[in-house]
A = this chain, B = another copy of it.
Amino acid sequence: MASKKIAAGIDIGGTNTVFGFVDRDGNILAEDKIKTGQYDEIEVYVAALYEKMMIARQKITEDVEIIGFGIGAPMGNINKGTIEYPANLPWKGIIPVADVFKKHTDLPVVVTNDANAAAVGEMIYGGAKGMKNFVVITLGTGLGSGFVVNGKLLYGHDGFAGELGHTSIRPGSSNRDCDCGKKGCLETYVSATGLKRTLLKVMADSTKPSDLRKYSFNELDAELIHQAAKKGDHLAKRAFERTGKILGFKLADVVAHTNPEAIFLFGGLALAKELIFEPAKKAMEENLLHIYRGKVKLLPSQLSTQNAAVLGASSLIWSLRES
C-alpha cells in the first residue's frame, strides 16, 4: 500500500512555534512545539525546529510520507518565502525563513501570514470547500484577512494583499491610535482589543449600570464582555453592536472590491455568534450596492480555533498540489 501523504504545518508565534503533521482530511497525526524566543539566530532556530519535527514524525505509527512544509508567520511573504520586519519575533529585518528551511529538505516550503493560511485552511479542510472566491477575516488581538480569488490565494504584487485591519474607517477624523502608527484603522475598532476600547467609550458616554464597571481596562477582555452581553448587560451589548456595525460597513467594501461568495469570520470575537454576526450582517447589507444584496454569505469559520494555525499552515502544501 502507498504511504499516507501528510503535510507539515508550522505556526510561528512570538512565544511558541507550534507544528503538526496533517493528512488531507485535516487530521493532525502528531504535533509538538518549541519556544520561539529561545533562538536568537534563525539558522539555529530552524535546525532545532526541524530536529524536533523529525522526532515527532517518528512517533506516527502509520506509514507516512511528508510532502512539504507550510509556515504561517506574522508578516510572512508568500512571494519571497520571507518574514519581513516582524514586530514580535526574535529576528530582525527580512528573514529568509524558506531558504534556511531548504537547507534541511528538498520538499516544498511555503510561507505566508496567519490570515492567508487561515483562508487556505478554510478552503482545504473547512467551510469553504469547493468555493473559488471567498474571504476569511481573523478576529484576535488584531484583525487579519485572507482573500481567495479563482481558487487561489490573492497575494498581490509584493505579497501583502489582504491587510484589512489597517484600512481606515473614515477620512481624517478618528481619534483612535493604532499600533501601526496610523489612526482609525479597522482593527482599532474590530478585534478583541477594539471591542474593549469601544466598551470603554460606551461606558464613558452612558450612565447605565453595568457589572463591567468594576473591571479595569487591563482586566477586561473580549470573553468577559461576551459573557456580560449574554446576561443582558446593556453596555456590553452596545459595544458588540457598534463593533459589528463597523465590521459590516467595511465588509460591504470588501464585497465591492472582490465580490466573494462568502465571508468567514474566525477567532475569539466570531465565537460571540449572533452578538457580532447580526449587526455585521445588517450593516453589510445596508451598505451594499443592490447587485450584491442578499447574495454574500457571512459565515463562522469551520476550523477549530485551537488547531487552526497548524491546519492553515499545512493546507498551503495541499493547495500547492491541487491548484
**Residues of A bordering B, CB below 8 Å:** 75, 84-85, 132-134, 147, 149-150, 152, 154-164, 166-172, 180-182, 245-246, 249, 252-254, 256-261, 283, 287, 289-292, 295
A246 vs B245: C-alpha distance in the bound complex, in angstroms? 22
Chain B residues near A258: list those with CB within 8 A: 147, 154, 156, 161, 257-258
Knowing A168-B252, A180-B289, A252-B167 are in contact, say whether A133-B157 is a contact too (CB < 8 A). yes
Q: Quick one: copies of this chain in the complex?
A: 2
- Cross-chain contact A171 with B291 (CB below 8 angstroms): no
Known contacts being A170-B169, A287-B168, is A155 close to B256, with CB within 8 Å?
no
For the residues of A in contact with B, the DSSP-based class is: loop
Q: A132-B157, A259-B160, A287-B182 are in contact. Are A170 and B167 (CB under 8 A)?
A: no
B257–A158 CB distance below 8 A: no
Quick check: B260 and A156 within 8 Å, CB to CB? Answer: yes
**In the complex, are the beta carbons of B295 and A158 less than 8 A apart?**
yes
Structural contact, B171 and A259, CB atoms closer than 8 A: no
Q: Is the CB of A157 within 8 A of B260?
A: yes
- Please state if A256 and B171 are interface contacts (CB–CB under 8 Å): no
A181 to B47 alpha-carbon distance, docked (Å): 59
Given contacts A163-B256, A171-B246, A253-B257, 9 further A-B contacts (CB under 8 A): A147-B258, A154-B258, A155-B259, A158-B295, A162-B257, A162-B259, A164-B257, A168-B252, A258-B258
CA–CA, A154 and B172, complex, Å? 30
